[in-house]
Structure 1
């Protein structure tokens, strides 16, 4: 038997009945199985040939057991094994444990990316907070005069945020193609089979950034709005 990759590699439209020479032996294809990962998930699925080997070549015995009966089945197999092959130790593992180990490793990569993203966001917020403080402090007199002349709170809020929203928008436009290329390159290096990066990922990221930036600037805007313009102009 062969897998689908093997058939595609040979260019066979109809695989049944085809012959294959392997180790000076000619085999006839009697079936084609669906592609599956028989190595690490990071590796591409390679052509595979399944044949009935000699007993000396056997390394693993694969069994399917009912859900929840793994321990009882392992104990029964151990007793049978020790009765049939008393001089050989009985060693076994569950396939789901192998999968869980792989997903734990993948989860570690995800946690690293998440940690780096959070640190980058915090550093950006600190810089944005300092920039907003400096900008509002330099325009405090101007904004106080506008308040005295009857400027509304929404108008002052928009005026204070407009510059930062413009900078964030420009940054988003510049960062989108760069981040798309970088993430695709990283994912291609790590995974052979993966999900594609769609617009929803960028939309979610930008919404999160804009909300975080707005909350960061809001602290300074609130301080600006609550300041008595008379006190500011008197000190001037």
Structure 2
């Protein structure tokens, strides 16, 4: 079980909570920010933090929906529409600012060490944006939405980025996937992995969307990626 800390927004508009899980003994080898889906900091996101802590990382999941309503926590299997309604209301630039504030807080918690990020769905998009707009040390995005519309920022990606792309993603159509490959396959800092025939959410911690074999494969790739670039 983790605990909750408060982080001050960069614009001074208030504080937001973040769930933090630390490895036993407290000697984290690096920090990883876990960037939420549209479902908020729910049981799955907390469990991902706990799993990363068992792997020796300090894991921290900021509540990026705090400007809409603090503490939103939805079930992907039963509250999808409620979650989708939040997406257009979310200020993504403010979200990136809150991720930047979280990077600073995480670096302090690991005594100036490296900080990575892993995000899912909306969080996968934000992981890409963080790679282009912040000094994050390494980022991973699972089934990030709308990345094809952000390819103009790819020149700004200076540190390693990995993206997991299910080829039957109902929220990322084939044309968007092709654009991602066309725009990023030759990028020296970016690695893309396709998961044939799988849909959005295949690596969720809990629920009906999870595909055990593919989630294990993707998470293994992410683990090796962070071991190479954060430790």
* TM-score bracket relative to the smaller structure: under 0.3
Greater strand content: 2
Greater helix content: 1
The structure with more radius of gyration: 1
Task: Output the TM-score relative to the length of structure 2.
Answer: 0.20
